[in-house]
Amino acid sequence: MLKKLGDCKAAEVYPVDLPPSFDAFKRRLEGKRLDAGDYKRLVGDIVAGLYDEAQIAAFLVSQLHHRLSDEELGYLIRAMVDTGEIVSFGEPVYDEHSIGGVPGNSKVALIVVPIVASKGLLIPKTSSRAITSPAGTADTMEVLARVTFSAEEIHDMALRARGLIVWGGALNLAPADDVFVRVERRIGVDPPTQMVASILAKKLAMSVSRLVIDIPVGRGAKVENEKDAAMLASMFLSQASRLGVTMRVALTFGNEPIGLSVGPALEAREALETLMKGDGPLGLVEKACSLAGLVLELGGVAPRGRGYSLACEILRSGMAYKKFREIIEVQEGDPDVKPEDIRLAPKRFTLEARRDGIVSSIDNVAISLAAKAAGAPDDKTAGIKLHVKTGYRVKKGDPLLTIYASSDARLHEAVRIIEEYNAVVVEGVIVKLFP
């Protein structure tokens, strides 16, 4: 290990097993700028296992103190891509990716991908499992089909179905990212520069060249205000132009959960119902069609500003559901699966309104924590079903949400969190009463 005596360089003692890139590593910690070669060596050594977790944590934290320049971020992304496999398709590849952080968001891609693919655009979406949330898109898709495939399988399946929703972690795409994610979970830190690098490295490894990024903004979301969101958006965009990716970034309403379900099985049900009916909770349909519409515009399938209505039309017409069946089938699931076939955890608790009034807020953080306490995402059948959204008027006794868990202990813990956080606030017309 490094033993530094004072500030005198001559007195520094290095252990014998130093990685070759250690000098670059040290300069990064001091906030010095590294070049493309530095990042290439550094990432190579990280993937080779030459850095331990403490060192990787230091590298991550350094990004908070000395933000990577645009150039450095570009070098880091390139280095992450170059250490892994690249899947090439010989045609433009599209994708839509949300930075997440809002409960209920994992199902959106299950609606976006078939809408886009049904117009012939190639959208082989690799998604993550939940990092800190109750459900990642891969967890939710796995309720309906297999999500773990090799790069070759993904290549062939994508060309057959035009759309996929698979787990990126099973592939050797940008393998440095797996290391970074593991350490990020341990230290609870996710520097914005590293988030941008992780997302774009995985997309480049899939040869994505037309990308829509979704940044949910709201209380209890990853990004809580528009200013931070705009900064993140500009980081994405400057890398996109550097890397030759055509990109649009949408800041989306993230003050409350998306749709009415949180947790893999519940979200899979809701996505399937929405695709089958061609309609569903307005917030969910609107979000999916907005994002799908932007991808359709990138693909020239719809003129600018008209993608949304085309996406809605594709959803309504049943074309999206037809495509989703093909995707399930190519991913070795049962295309005839019905929403009611999806098993939900047997222990249930329904929270009721204690008064007449208007739902004034639903707490993202409380819903996420409670869904995880109930068992999601490891227990796919666990989660939370919302019966109301912000702005709904309720009568005393009306159901607000139902928690699903596989054991009483988990159910009780989830209920405790919901009550402690006052997860669903119902306000009456009388705000305060004197005396």
* Catalytic positions, written as ranges: 190
Report the residue number, 246 or 407, with the smaller CB distance to a copy of itself: 246
- Does residue 172 belong to the site contacting a copy of itself (CB under 8 A)? no
> What residues have CB less than 8 Å from 376, skipping those under 6 apart?
130, 134, 135, 262, 263, 264, 382, 383
- Does residue 202 belong to the site contacting a copy of itself (CB under 8 A)? no
- Does residue 231 belong to the site contacting a copy of itself (CB under 8 A)? no
- Does residue 391 belong to the site contacting a copy of itself (CB under 8 A)? yes
- Does residue 230 belong to the site contacting a copy of itself (CB under 8 A)? yes
Determine the interface stretch with a copy of itself among 50-58, 228-236, 266-274, 412-420 (rule: CB under 8 A). Answer: 228-236
Determine the interface stretch with a copy of itself among 3-11, 91-99, 185-193, 251-259 (rule: CB under 8 A). Answer: 251-259
3-state secondary structure of 115: helix
CB of 299 to a copy of itself, least distance (A): 17
Report the residue number, 223 or 382, with the smaller CB distance to a copy of itself: 223
What stretch of H or E contains 121?
Answer: none
Rounded Cα distance between 18 and 21, Å, is 8
Rounded Cα distance between 427 and 414, Å, is 23
| Under 8 Å between Cβ of 426 and 395 | no
- Does residue 428 belong to the site contacting a copy of itself (CB under 8 A)? yes
- Does residue 251 belong to the site contacting a copy of itself (CB under 8 A)? yes
Residue 296, judged by CB atoms within 10 A of its CB (0-12, 13-18, 19+), counts as buried
Report the residue number, 178 or 279, with the smaller CB distance to a copy of itself: 279
3-state secondary structure of 133: coil
Rounded Cα distance between 138 and 124, Å, is 13
Identify which of 386, 356, 89 has the alpha carbon closest to the alpha carbon of residue 208.
89
- Does residue 227 belong to the site contacting a copy of itself (CB under 8 A)? no
- Does residue 427 belong to the site contacting a copy of itself (CB under 8 A)? yes
- Does residue 390 belong to the site contacting a copy of itself (CB under 8 A)? yes
Q: Which of 248, 325, 380, 387 binds a copy of itself (CB under 8 A)?
A: 248
| Under 8 Å between Cβ of 388 and 400 | yes
If one counts every other C-beta atom within 10 angstroms of the C-beta of residue 241, the result is: 12
Residues in 110-169 at the binding interface with a copy of itself, rule: CB under 8 A: none
CA separation, residue 166 to residues 45, 265, 291 (Å): 28, 16, 19
- Does residue 249 belong to the site contacting a copy of itself (CB under 8 A)? yes
Q: Which of 217, 314, 411, 423 binds a copy of itself (CB under 8 A)?
A: 217
Report the residue number, 86 or 282, with the smaller CB distance to a copy of itself: 282
| Under 8 Å between Cβ of 182 and 128 | no
Residues in 343-372 at the binding interface with a copy of itself, rule: CB under 8 A: 356-358
Q: Which of 2, 64, 282, 409 binds a copy of itself (CB under 8 A)?
A: 282
CB of 15 to a copy of itself, least distance (A): 46
Residues in 8-37 at the binding interface with a copy of itself, rule: CB under 8 A: none
Rounded Cα distance between 321 and 335, Å, is 10
| Under 8 Å between Cβ of 221 and 246 | no
End-to-end CA, the chain:
67
Residues of the shown chain interacting with a copy of itself in the complex, contacts defined by CB under 8 A: 217, 226, 229-230, 233-234, 237, 248-253, 282-283, 286-287, 290, 294, 308, 312, 356-358, 390-393, 427-435
